[in-house]
């Protein structure tokens, strides 16, 4: 409960409902609206139970303030100089910012139409001169300066201090790109220096869990705003350094972070001034781990951003920078698996083709296969020789018959003797003719697929297509369980 000290002004208290002006004591001056009503139509009857007390609605008070503001000629066309505080631009293009000096702050609204015609835009820390009018925004009851034009007037005190410290620290080499360290690709432990009570810590933890849940997160609590915030941030870096030393000494490498996030939400230049403190900048530079600074929004820039190894636009963006996205890794693993499977398949196919070629080569070099091939070759040559001999005998017989019919009788006798010898020779040769063997009822069985002559039933398993050569021609057949069938 809030307690007030000192004397309370009676005018700040609501009069009692039964208070009635005593005789001789003048009543309170009625509001302007009541007075105007009294001038034209007589006294206004008081609401029941108020005994003459006039209670105004919120909109009536706001309207009265608006009329008073608009009636003041000094506020309808005004030039104001001050330092720009936090600047916010809406999706419609309207700019909202504050002008301040050592004692007061004034809210300003700059609509998109006027902004589009201006070559100068307000930035936090700048001292500017604004031209416009003062009015009341009734819905919020806020007195605002509606800006028509802006022109620069110089830098504010904080901006001057910022640039001076930045120049001095940059001259010392604290912001050199050569001292920036690269971030680890897949850190197992990440340290986060921020306030444990703000939404920033929850946002960072949520992003890390969603993108890379294998990472452990170490929270190093500190203050991020206020006069004692710089010292708190420096102490947080010191505690983290001691933690690293102790974990390394105790043989707990899994507890040692590989990267540090320094995070805070957005705010005005004054809100973020702790991260422009020289002590904080030197703590960031002297830290033993790579530092990712995610302070404020994208438009906010602090000296800690220059000192850090990597600057992130927001705390959530800082969390996204320090860990990979597991969805991308899973997709990469799937693609690598597909490429590996395709490569293995191609290798196996090539090995299969080479194995088949080697098997065929070995089959050709098998002595049994060569013996069978030679036997078939001898059979074919014998058949061809028999056919050639039969043709030669027939041709000789025809020649002899022609000569016998034309030759004298002695010659004919010699021819008959020679013919008898030839017939005997032909009969002896006919015994060796395979056709004669076929005429006696024998057959030659070949496999239909390769024409190989079969000499063993084992060479024709059941179902093998066969070609049986008989004396009068070929007969197709199929090998069965009990023997071949036509």
Residue-wise pLDDT tens digits, 258-283 = 999 999 998 877 889 999 999 999 99
Q: Please tell me the predicted confidence (pLDDT) of residue 469.
A: 83
DSSP letters, 297-347, are: -TT---HHHHHSSEE-SSHHHHHHHHS--HHHHHHHHHHHHHHHHHHHHHH
- Residue intervals of the chain classified under CATH 2.40.50.140 are 69-155
Q: Please tell me the predicted confidence (pLDDT) of residue 28.
A: 39
Say how far apart CA 64 and CA 336 lie, in whole Å: 73
Count of beta carbons in the 10 Å neighbourhood of residue 75: 16
- Residue spans of the chain under pLDDT 70: 1-52, 154-157, 404, 406-409, 482-486
> 69-155: what fold?
OB fold (Dihydrolipoamide Acetyltransferase, E2P) (2.40.50)
Residue-wise pLDDT tens digits, 165-208 = 999 999 999 999 999 999 999 999 999 999 999 899 999 999 99
CA dihedral 67, 71, 76, 81 (to 10 degrees): -90
Angle between helices 199-211 and 315-322 (to 10 degrees): 30
Say how far apart CA 327 and CA 348 lie, in whole Å: 31
| Structure tokens that stand for 28 in this block | 């309170």
Q: Please tell me the predicted confidence (pLDDT) of residue 283.
A: 97
Per DSSP, helices labelled H in 366-408 are: 367-406
367-405 residues labelled b (16+ CB within 10 A) or e (exposed)? eeeeeeeeeeeeeeeeeeebeeeeeebeeeeeebeeebe
Count of beta carbons in the 10 Å neighbourhood of residue 277: 19
Residue-wise pLDDT tens digits, 7-57 = 333 333 333 333 334 433 344 344 444 444 444 445 555 555 555 678 899
Q: Please tell me the predicted confidence (pLDDT) of residue 209.
A: 93
Say how far apart CA 192 and CA 292 lie, in whole Å: 10
Q: Please tell me the predicted confidence (pLDDT) of residue 180.
A: 94
Q: Please tell me the predicted confidence (pLDDT) of residue 52.
A: 61
Say how far apart CA 300 and CA 306 lie, in whole Å: 12
Q: pTM score, two decimals?
A: 0.48
Give the right CATH number for 186-324 from 3.40.50.261, 3.40.50.740, 3.40.640.10, 1.10.10.10: 3.40.50.261
Say how far apart CA 23 and CA 188 lie, in whole Å: 85
- Residue intervals of the chain classified under CATH 3.40.50.261 are 186-324
Q: Please tell me the predicted confidence (pLDDT) of residue 429.
A: 77
| Structure tokens that stand for 318 in this block | 């800082």
């Amino acid at each position: 409960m809030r307690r007030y000290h000192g004397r309370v002004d009676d005018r700040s208290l609501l009069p009692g409902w039964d208070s009635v002006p005593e005789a001789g004591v003048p009543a309170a001056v009625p509001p302007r609206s009541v007075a105007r009503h009294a001038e034209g139509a007589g006294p206004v009857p008081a609401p029941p139970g108020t005994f003459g007390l006039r209670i105004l609605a919120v909109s009536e008070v706001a309207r009265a303030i608006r009329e008073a503001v608009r009636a003041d000629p000094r506020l309808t066309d005004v030039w104001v100089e001050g330092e720009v505080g936090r600047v916010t631009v809406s999706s419609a293009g309207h700019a909202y910012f504050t002008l301040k000096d050592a004692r007061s702050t004034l809210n300003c609204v700059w609509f998109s139409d006027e902004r589009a015609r201006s070559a100068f835009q307000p930035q936090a820390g700048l001292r500017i001169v604004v031209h416009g009018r003062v009015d009341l925004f009734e819905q919020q009851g806020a007195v605002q300066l509606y800006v028509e034009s802006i022109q620069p007037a110089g830098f504010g005190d904080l901006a001057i201090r910022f640039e001076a410290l930045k120049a001095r620290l940059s001259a010392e080499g604290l912001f050199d790109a050569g001292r920036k360290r690269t971030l680890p690709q897949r850190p197992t432990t990440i340290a986060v220096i921020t306030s444990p009570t703000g939404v920033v810590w929850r946002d960072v933890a949520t992003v890390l869990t969603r993108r890379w849940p294998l990472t452990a997160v170490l929270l190093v609590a500190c203050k991020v705003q206020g006069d004692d915030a710089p010292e708190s941030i420096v102490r947080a870096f010191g505690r983290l350094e001691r933690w690293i030393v102790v974990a390394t000494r105790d043989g707990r490498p899994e507890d040692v972070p590989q990267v540090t996030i320094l995070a805070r939400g957005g705010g005005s230049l004054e809100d973020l001034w702790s991260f422009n403190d020289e002590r904080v900048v030197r703590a960031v530079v002297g830290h033993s781990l790579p530092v990712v600074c995610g302070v404020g929004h994208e438009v906010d820039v602090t000296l800690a951003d220059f000192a850090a190894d990597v600057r992130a636009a927001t705390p959530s963006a800082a969390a996204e920078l320090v860990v990979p996205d597991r969805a991308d890794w899973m997709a990469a693993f799937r693609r690598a698996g597909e490429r590996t499977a395709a490569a293995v398949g191609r290798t196996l196919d090539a090995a299969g083709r080479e194995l088949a070629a080697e098997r065929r080569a070995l089959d050709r070099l098998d002595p049994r296969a060569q013996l069978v091939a030679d036997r078939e070759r001898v059979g074919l040559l014998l058949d061809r020789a028999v056919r050639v001999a039969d043709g030669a005998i027939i041709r000789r017989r025809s020649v002899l018959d022609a000569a016998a019919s034309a030759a004298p009788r002695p010659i004919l006798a010699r021819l008959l003797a020679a013919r008898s010898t030839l017939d005997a020779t032909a009969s002896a040769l006919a015994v060796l003719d395979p056709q004669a063997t076929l005429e006696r009822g024998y057959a030659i069985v070949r496999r239909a697929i390769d024409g190989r002559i079969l000499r063993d039933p084992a060479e024709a398993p059941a179902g093998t297509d066969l070609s049986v050569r008989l004396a009068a021609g070929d007969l197709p057949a199929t090998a069965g369980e009990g023997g071949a069938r036509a």
